[in-house]
Amino acid sequence: MSPRWRQVLSEVEEVSLMARSTPPARKTRKSPAKVAVTPPTGPGLGTRGWLTISSVLVFAVILSIVLPRVIGNGGGQAGADGGDPGVAHVHGLGIDPADSTLYAATHFGVFRIPASGPATRIADRYQDTMGFTVVGPRHFLGSGHPDERENKPGRLGLIESTDAGQTWRALSLEGEADFHALKAAHGQVYGFDSGTARFMVTTDRRTWQTRSITPMIDFAVSPAGPDTILATTQEYGLARSTDGGRSFAPVKDAPPVVVLAWQAPDVLYGVTITGAVMASHDAGGSWQQQGSLDGRPEALVAESKDKIYAATESGIYASTDGGRTFTLRYRG
């Protein structure tokens, strides 16, 4: 059995065990040297959420980790039979403010997505970049799993690139955290660690505080302030925190959105599992459908109030009218 498959099976076993039992009251694995993880001060979604979400967690792990790695001959490298898998299974999208280039973080590397023509794999790297966010010109943060050719731990923790993905360096939680969602806002980085369901925050990108145990799919931080966070969850659907992620409460009558983008204070975007594009102008209190997408959504990002990009299982799409209409930006 290859080292990558041992890692995959280990992750499935870990999350399956999590799903079959409530999480320990306060048992945490040891943090690497110089990394402090502060216990959460709020209940998150609580024990009931863990019990109800169990089958979904296991199924999500099989789909998002095992299946893509089988298709890609183990993941993190070109398939021996199928060649380069290209832009497949998009985990995140980002726009570089240096030149407005669109980037897609995928199961098989980070790609530069042009306005037309083929996508370009950055640095010939097959790194499985699960969490991904652009924090400045040519400045990216990420997480996930390494290229199989690299001698690195199976979980990358928080990693950073200051040259648009050409090179990456570890910042913190290497070997421990696998952030499936990352956001940078208000001088902080927010992350959801899929292995432990910890919602975490750091101000220096090295020392982390665990705010709550909250199983989620995606989240967005309000541009208006650091404490308002919306998260998509399997148990409660859309949930809101007003205390920086220490606790979450269901948002009444919210649509079943699974991915979120919150670039401007007065417009929040979300896409449902069926591809309905929704917008809210009151921080998630009420929603209106704008348009629709072809296929199950994988990632969403807003460049401005009206310009958004969405990745689905069928391709990457762009809208310049707030999600009312979309044009195909890239199909691999």
pLDDT in tens, 283-292: 999 999 999 9
* Assigned token pair, 220: 């967005």
SS3 state of residue 55 = helix
What strands lie across the sheet with 267-272, from one edge to the other? Answer: 257-264, 267-272, 276-280, 288-292
Amino acid 235: pLDDT: 83
- Report d(CA 201, CA 184) in Å as an integer: 10
Angle, in degrees to the nearest 10, between helices 3-20 and 54-61 = 170
Tokens 């980002």 label which residue?
94
At residue 39, does pLDDT exceed 60? no
Tokens 């009312």 label which residue?
324
Angle at 144 between CA 140 and CA 150, to 5 degrees: 95
Determine the distance from the C-alpha atom of residue 69 to the mean position of all C-alpha atoms in its chain, rounded to a whole number.
Answer: 18
Which element (helix H / strand E) includes 107? none
Ordered alpha helix ranges (H), the chain: 3-20, 46-52, 54-61, 67-71
Residue 154: how many CB atoms within 10 A of its CB? 18
Amino acid 84: pLDDT: 82
Amino acid 74: pLDDT: 35
Task: List the one residue out of 221, 321, 327, 324 whose CA is nearest residue 276.
Answer: 324
Question: Which one-letter amino acid corresponds to residue 291?
Answer: G
Task: List the one residue out of 269, 170, 291 whose CA is nearest residue 218.
Answer: 269
Residue 56: how many CB atoms within 10 A of its CB? 15
At residue 24, does pLDDT exceed 80? no
Phi, psi dihedral angles at 147 (to 5 degrees): -55, 140
Question: Which one-letter amino acid corresponds to residue 140?
Answer: F
* Assigned token pair, 5: 């498959």
What size, in residues, is the chain? 332
> Do 184 and 141 meet the contact criterion of CB atoms below 8 Å apart?
yes
Which element (helix H / strand E) includes 106? strand 101-106
At residue 177, does pLDDT exceed 80? yes
pLDDT in tens, 221-250: 999 999 999 999 988 899 999 999 999 999
pLDDT bucket at 172, cuts 50 / 70 / 90: very high
Tokens 């955290």 label which residue?
177
